[in-house]
Amino acid sequence: MVAAMLDDVMAFAVGLDLDWGEISPTLEIKVSMLNAARPGRIYGEGRVIKRGKSVGFIEGELRDESGKVLATGSSTATFVRLKRAEDKKTDKK
């Protein structure tokens, strides 16, 4: 559950940096569990460390209500441009 939350936090961070029609699937993720996550609110922060043409490096962290770091993560994502329906039709001709 914590790894999925970190993946979401990092995905939102990189999502803000995407061009229209572009997606960024995660290639790999590393999670370090630092403290137990207890019931209550958990806050996440993600940041893009570096973005190249086809690969990006992202970091994230989860904190509890008191600000204690629960987990940190880093991931590598690729950037893929989706084809529009019109483009797919012209490819078949």
What does 19-58 look like in DSSP terms, one character per residue? PTTEE--EEEEEEEE-SPPPSS-EEEEEEEEEE-SSEEEE
Please, what sign has the CA dihedral across residues 64, 68, 70, 71? positive
Q: Tell me, what's the pLDDT at 86?
A: 62
Domains annotated for the chain, with CATH where assigned, are 2-91 (3.10.129.10)
* This prediction's pTM: 0.79
Question: pLDDT at residue 26 above 80?
Answer: yes
What tokens appear for 65 in the block?
Answer: 């209500």
Q: Tell me, what's the pLDDT at 67?
A: 96
Of the pLDDT bands very low, low, confident and very high (cuts 50, 70, 90), residue 83 is confident
